[in-house]
Chains A and B, each alone.
Chain A
Amino acid sequence: MNDAGVSGSAVVERIRFRDRPLGRALSEYRESGSAMVAFAITLVVLLAALFAVQLSPQNPYDLAKLDILDGVLPPLSMGMEGQTYLLGTDEQGRDMLSAILYGLRISLTVGIVSTILAFALGTSLGLAAAYRGGRLDAWLMRVVDLQLSFPALLIALVLLVALGQGIDKITLALVITHWAYFARSARGSALAERNREYIEAARALRLSDARIVFRHLLPNVMPSLIVIATTMVARAISTEATLSFLGIGLPITEPSLGLLISNGFRYLLSGKYWISFYPGIALVVAIIALNIMGDRLRDVLNPRLRK
């Protein structure tokens, strides 16, 4: 795991990329076909969200561009101006494909930003607890245990009731619900690493605590955290969509996929399925792809499973 400790010597320089831990993990990852497909899909979803403005046939939130006469058209219909609506339109004549691309953008932003923040907060606290031990450790783990005994959805629901709607508030709520997973895992791996020789060596060199924790401990607990982060992005996206669907997540001005689905619910009952169906497909495909990637990363990065 930690050949980096002797870098600088000529022998190590000549070690090829695929023999280094990261390289080996990546080449093992590539062996699974479904994991590669999941990676490709995730990439496509990310790019679609990033270039939503360029890819959308229509700016779905420019009211001047919407034609009410094109409202609730089924997929592949022709609009008043001769344009084709690939995935149909909603009640305001909004092209669903464009709305999905814009919605994907909001959903992914919430999922990724909240996971990065939860990662930073949880990992710092978990590492500090493991390295320092004592009372800090005992209290932190008590809070973590307590929090993990309640379902994340319920905690997020309570927080949003208190905080109100908004993209910043739901991100905050997701950070508060998800940090504990990172803290527990970071602490667990760090406890196992703490007594290894390289940490002892770093201590003997009288390196500062911060340097030991961030330069020596952190890289070695990273693998398990990366796995958690992948699945947490998926969970955050799913939780945000659920809360927005219930009307307590994002306001109507931030139309994420969850809000699009919620908006299509009343039309679904009269057989006009496409307003809820296609945003849901986008949501499910993104979540499944992330989960498959997470599963494969777990297999590849878990040293216990290595041959």
Chain B
Amino acid sequence: MALFILRRLLGSLVLVLVMSMLVFLGVFAIGDPINTLVPPDASEAERQAVIVHFGLDRPLPRQYATFLGNAIQGDLGRSFRFDEPALRLIAQRVPATLELAFAALILTIVVGIPLGLLAGFRPNALSSRLVMGISAFGFSVPTFWLGLMLIMLFAVFLGWLPASGRGATVTVLGLPLSFLTIDGLRHMLLPALSLAAFKLSLIIRLTRAGTQEVVTSDYVKYARAKGLRNGRIVFVHVLKNTLIPITTVLGLEFGRTIAFAVVTETIFAWPGMGKLIIDSIAVLDRPVIVAYLMMTVVMFIFINLVVDIIYSTLDPRVRLEELR
């Protein structure tokens, strides 16, 4: 186990290095940021001063070497736009994104698993067919359009919920959190729902498939023959055994949630890191783009590692060495 983690971490380090090179080169290929930094009426001397100030006059390998040297010390450059460290800029917005992602994840679990169990136990009931129909829809509808439709229905036509922003927050341990106030929850519901839709459909399908598989197994038949309560059969015999694939998928889906938060945050003006990256791309704020991409790469490597470890603890038949 320790050897496996060590090997994975070493591989990850190489990966991060390669990705940093790709990201740096890729971001360097996009337009000249000078035009967005300097007002059009600036003199040539002022222009040059800005170029030298941001180090944009030096050759590319030198710029990369400086970037890498600084990155190791936790400095991913200063934002052109805010003149603040890019990493701090992103770090300030991470809690909002994580809060939204967790809200979507909790919504998925709390709603998805019971509906999946229902559809699995009574596959021919009208309610089950309805659930499966909605899940097929949630599978196909693009996240951004679902977000727009939720705004249209609940914010514009019905006027029940706010369409954008984060609402009132409560600061706990230095982190502003929305879910502790009614206003914050009201702001969070629509973006979380649109972010959760795809996962919800996936979990419903997975739970249903797992339930159908387990329900016909001998040990469930035996449990019924013993005369166990239905609740005990559902939660102990069925749910526990369908939980393994669900956990793995949810872990992997968490990464997708972070990626799709880019879309949801843009639509609902949620002040997270996804909205920051889209705004930064629009004005070619290179250091922020590079920092965001590097943060995401590291985050994904971490998520994948954690999922592998959880998977092996849940299912002792899987040995980590085999997972590479």
Partner-B contacts on A (CB < 8 A): 145-146, 149-151, 153-154, 157-159, 161-164, 234, 238, 241-242, 245-248, 258, 261, 265, 268-271, 273, 276-277, 280, 283-284, 287-288, 291-292
Contact = CB atoms under 8 A, between A and B. Distances in A.
Interface stretch (B96-104, B133-141, B240-248): B133-141
Given A151-B255, A158-B293, A288-B140, A283 B145 contact: yes
Given A153-B256, A246-B263, A284-B141, 18 more contacts: A146-B15, A150-B300, A151-B255, A151-B256, A154-B259, A157-B259, A161-B27, A161-B281, A162-B26, A242-B144, A246-B266, A247-B282, A248-B278, A261-B148, A265-B148, A268-B156, A271-B156, A273-B156
B225 to A, nearest CB: 30
Interface in B137-164: 137, 139-145, 148-149, 151-152, 155-157, 163
Contacts of B137: 288
B45 interface: no
Given A151-B256, A242-B144, A291 B139 contact: yes
A267 B281 CA distance: 24
A270 B23 CA distance: 40
A276 B152 CA distance: 10
A268 B151 contact: yes
Contacts, number: 102
Contact of A241 (B142, B255, B266): B142
Given A146-B15, A283-B142, A284-B145, A271 B157 contact: yes
Contact of A242 (B31, B163, B263): B263
Interface residues of B, number: 42
The 10 A-B residue pairs with the shortest CB-CB distance in the complex, in nearest-first order:
A162-B26, A151-B259, A154-B259, A280-B145, A288-B140, A151-B256, A238-B142, A287-B140, A245-B144, A291-B140
A195 B324 CA distance: 26
Contacts of A268: 148, 151-152, 156
A277 B259 contact: no
B198 to A, nearest CB: 10
24 contacts: A145-B324, A149-B304, A153-B259, A153-B262, A154-B259, A158-B26, A164-B30, A238-B140, A241-B142, A242-B142, A242-B263, A245-B144, A246-B144, A261-B148, A265-B148, A269-B156, A270-B156, A271-B156, A276-B145, A277-B149, A280-B148, A283-B145, A284-B141, A288-B137
B289 interface: yes
Interface string B109-136: 0000000000000000000000000001
Contact of A151 (B145, B156, B260, B278): B260
A258 B148 CA distance: 12
A15 to B, nearest CB: 36
Contacts of A292: 136
B29 interface: yes
Majority secondary structure of chain A interface residues (helix, strand, loop or mixed): helix
B70 interface: no
Contacts of A265: 148, 267
A284 B293 contact: no
B205 to A, nearest CB: 11
B260 A273 contact: no
A161 B262 CA distance: 14
B300 A149 contact: yes
Contacts of B144: 241-242, 245-246, 258, 261
B104 to A, nearest CB: 14
B110 to A, nearest CB: 23
Nearest to B293: A158
A170 to B, nearest CB: 15
Contacts of A154: 259, 296
Given A242-B144, A246-B266, A277 B152 contact: yes
B163 A269 contact: yes
Interface in B9-37: 15, 23, 25-27, 29-31
A110 B152 CA distance: 28
A284 B142 contact: yes
Contacts of A162: 25-27, 29-30
A184 B281 CA distance: 32
A161 B293 CA distance: 11
Contacts of A242: 142-144, 263
B149 A280 contact: yes
Contacts of A280: 145, 148-149
Contacts of A163: 29
Contacts of B23: 158
Contact of A291 (B136, B163, B278): B136
A18 to B, nearest CB: 29
Contact of A246 (B15, B152, B278, B324): B278
Nearest to B155: A269
Contacts of A291: 136, 139-140
B149 A161 contact: no
Contacts of A146: 15
Interface in B23-56: 23, 25-27, 29-31
A288 B136 contact: yes
Contacts of A145: 324
Contacts of A238: 140, 142
A225 to B, nearest CB: 21
Contacts of A164: 30-31
B148 A276 contact: yes
A292 B143 CA distance: 19
Contacts of A241: 142, 144-145
Contact of A247 (B142, B260, B278): B278
